[in-house]
């Protein structure tokens, strides 16, 4: 049986440094021959690693992936603060960090672990009165971004290198969505009184999507293939709820089912192994959150 969703799904890109997330989307549109390409979880040009993109109806799935946690590997330079909190900005403060001890660094990292309040970078994509913060900054306007809660599940230190009055700290960060690693580096430097910024950032995981799933742009240009089909993406990212053919048909029309005592969102999968929708219990209904295979498709 022909499946209209066979060529729709998710592409996990290993984004190279120097490209914006929008640049990656533009290339994927050319590789896959469609305008219907989007991405979840923007990466700065300096950053590399996992960028999750949707192809065709896979773009509709992206909005439901943003609640995932993420894992990064980064290098924080202590002793210098920049305008952008990363190596792309101009250095605005320089301090001799040579006397900062490893114990002090570890103590400051401990204070930045767990549930914390974080002020996003002023050059972030956060919207203030309908405009991106970085657009306001570039227009010369003063930006005041309120702190917001984020969770740093783990902030693990790696190698610590000292040279020329600065300290380069390698770290692995497991955090909630909405966390800015640039802000984490900035705040670490501020807590130690010497300033800090990122000089390297690589995203290893977004939810259940990892570098093991990722392809480079060079690989995709030669062979434009999905990393995961819609079915694979749905059943990997959410627990599976098996439904009957009749229930499958109802969900494909957006109808609700009787509650099952489920907690959280599940991927409803029919007897043929195909996922029809994301569902969630709402009151006395098992309702659709996203219909992957609508009856009209």
The 10s digit of each residue's pLDDT in 33-69 is 999 999 998 888 889 999 999 999 999 999 887 667 9
Q: Looking at the structure, tell me whether residues 58 and 78 fall in a common domain.
A: no
What is the value of pTM for the model shown? 0.90
Query: What positions carry a catalytic annotation?
Result: 44
Q: Is residue 4 part of a domain?
A: no
Look up the domain containing 180 and give its range: 70-206
Answer whether residue 1 is part of any domain. no
- The CATH number covering residue 223 comes to 3.30.2350.10
Based on the fold, state whether residues 196 and 122 are members of the same structural domain: yes
- Which pLDDT tens digit goes with each residue over 210-235? 999 999 999 999 999 999 999 999 99
pLDDT for 115-130, tens place per residue? 999 998 876 666 666 6
Higher per-residue confidence, 259 vs 122? 259
Tell me: do 90 and 152 sit in the same domain. Answer: yes
Q: How many structural domains is the chain composed of?
A: 3
pLDDT tens-digit readout, 129-144: 666 665 666 666 666 7
| Mean pLDDT of the 194-206 span | 97
Q: Is there a single domain that holds both residue 124 and residue 77? A: yes
The verdict on 181 and 226 lying in the same domain is: no
Phi, then psi, of 117 in degrees rounded to 5: -100, 130
Residues 114 and 100 in one domain: yes
Q: What is the mean pLDDT of residues 22-30?
A: 97
């Amino acid at each position: 049986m022909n499946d209209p969703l066979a060529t729709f799904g998710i592409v996990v890109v290993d984004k190279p440094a120097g490209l914006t997330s929008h640049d990656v989307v533009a290339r994927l549109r050319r590789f896959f021959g469609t305008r219907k390409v989007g991405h979840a979880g923007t990466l700065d040009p300096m950053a590399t690693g996992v960028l999750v993109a949707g192809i065709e109806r896979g773009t509709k799935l992206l909005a439901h992936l943003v609640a995932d946690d993420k894992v990064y590997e980064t290098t924080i330079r202590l002793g210098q603060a920049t305008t952008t909190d990363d190596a792309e900005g101009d250095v605005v403060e320089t301090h001799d960090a040579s006397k900062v001890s490893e114990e002090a660094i570890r103590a400051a990292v401990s204070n930045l672990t767990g549930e914390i309040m974080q002020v996003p970078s002023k050059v972030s994509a956060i919207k203030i009165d309908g405009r991106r913060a970085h657009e306001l900054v570039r227009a010369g306007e003063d930006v005041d971004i309120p702190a917001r809660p984020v969770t740093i599940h783990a902030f693990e230190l790696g190698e610590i290198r000292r040279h020329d009055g600065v300290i380069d700290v390698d770290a692995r960060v497991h955090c909630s969505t909405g966390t800015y690693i640039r802000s984490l580096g900035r705040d670490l430097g501020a807590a130690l009184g010497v300033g800090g910024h990122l000089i390297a950032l690589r995203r290893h995981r977004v939810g259940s999507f990892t570098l093991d799933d990722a392809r480079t742009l060079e690989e995709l240009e030669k062979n434009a293939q999905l990393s995961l089909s819609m079915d694979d993406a749905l059943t990997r990212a959410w627990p599976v709820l098996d439904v009957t053919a009749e229930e499958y048909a109802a969900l494909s029309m957006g109808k609700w089912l009787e509650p099952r005592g489920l907690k959280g969102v599940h991927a409803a999968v029919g007897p043929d192994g195909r996922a029809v929708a994301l569902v969630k219990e709402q009151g006395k209904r098992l309702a659709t959150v996203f219909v992957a295979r609508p009856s009209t498709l």
